[in-house]
Amino acid sequence: MTPDAIPVHHVSTLECRSCGAGAPVDEHFCPQCSRILALGRHGDYFTFLGLPRKLTIDPPELERRFRDLSRQFHPDYYYNATPSERIASLERSSYLNDAYRALRNPATRVEHLLAIEGLPSVKSEEGAAKVPPGLLEEVFALNEELDEIREAREAGGDAAALRSRLDAARTPIDEKRASHERELEALSAQWDGLLETGSPEERHATLDALRERLLERNYINNLLATIEREAASLGGRAG
C-alpha cells in the first residue's frame, strides 16, 4: 500500500478488545491489560514509529525502532492468543512494514508527509503532458537530440558515436537531478526547522515547494529512463 493511498482517521482513543479499557490511539498495547491493540489509526507512519514528523531521520534509529516493534508484533508470539490478538498482530506487523519502507527512503518520506499534511498526491500528476517550468530548456534540448539520434540509428549510423552523443545529452539531466536532490535536502531541513516554531503559512509554503521539487524530480527520472531505453536500442548503457 502506498503512503498516499492510506486514509488518515482522526481518532483520539481506542477500545481494547480484551478488557474494554480505553487506550490512547498512539499506543500499541493496552495500558490496563498489556494486550496488543487492534490497529485503529491509519495514515501517520511517523507517529506509528514514535518519530516526530520530520524529514531528517537517523537511519540507525529508524532501523532500531523497526526491529523493536517487529519483535513485539510478530505473529509467532500470538500463536496461542485470542483471535482478536492474532488479527491485531498481523495488522500491526503489516502496517509496520509499510511504514518502514516509506520512511527509510527520503523521496517516499516526503510523499508521505505531503499526504498526511493534506496536499494532493504527487502520483496524481504522473504521466501528465505538462513539462515543469524549471525543466523546459533541458527537455526541449533533450527531445531534439533524441530525435536526431533515433534518425541516425535508423539510417545505420555508427553505434559508438551515437552512444557518445547520448552520454553527452544525459549530462545536463544528471546535473539537474543532482541539483534537485540538494534542493530537496535543503527544503527538508527547512521543514524540520519550521515544524515547531514556524507559522502555518511558512510551513505550507515549504510543503508546496517540496511538492514542486518532487514533481520535477520524478519528471527527471522519467527523462533518464527514456535515455536508458534509447541506450538499450543502441546495444549499450548511457552514462
Read off the C-alpha cell for 72.
513485539
DSSP 105: S
pLDDT above 60 for 126: no
**Of 105 and 16, the one with more pLDDT:** 105
User: What is the crossing angle of helices 200-233 and 159-197, to 10°?
Assistant: 170
Residue 9 backbone phi and psi in degrees, to 5:
-110, 120
Nearest to 55 by CA among 179, 174, 211: 211
Distance CA 47, CA 83 (A): 26
Mean pLDDT of all residues belonging to the chain:
87
> Which of 24-28, 80-84, 88-92 bottoms out in mean pLDDT, i.e. has the lowest?
24-28
Average pLDDT (10-20) is: 75
Statement: residue 201 has pLDDT above 70: yes
pLDDT for 7 equals 41
Q: Which amino acid is at 81?
A: A
Asked if the model's pLDDT at residue 9 lies above 70, the reply is: no
Are the beta carbons of 30 and 65 closer than 8 angstroms? no
Residue 177 has pLDDT above 60, yes or no: yes
Asked if 216 and 131 count as a contact pair (C-beta separation under 8 A), the reply is: no
pLDDT at site 128:
53
CA gap 217, 203 in Å, rounded: 21
Q: Are 43 and 114 in contact (CB under 8 A)?
A: no
pTM: 0.81
Handedness of CA 54, 58, 64, 70 (dihedral sign): positive
User: pLDDT digits over 63-72, tens only?
Assistant: 999 999 999 9
Using CA atoms, how far apart are residues 36 and 138, in angstroms rounded to an integer? Answer: 53
111 in Cβ contact with 122 (< 8 Å) = yes
CA distances from 188 to 90, 120, 200, 205 (A): 33, 18, 16, 12
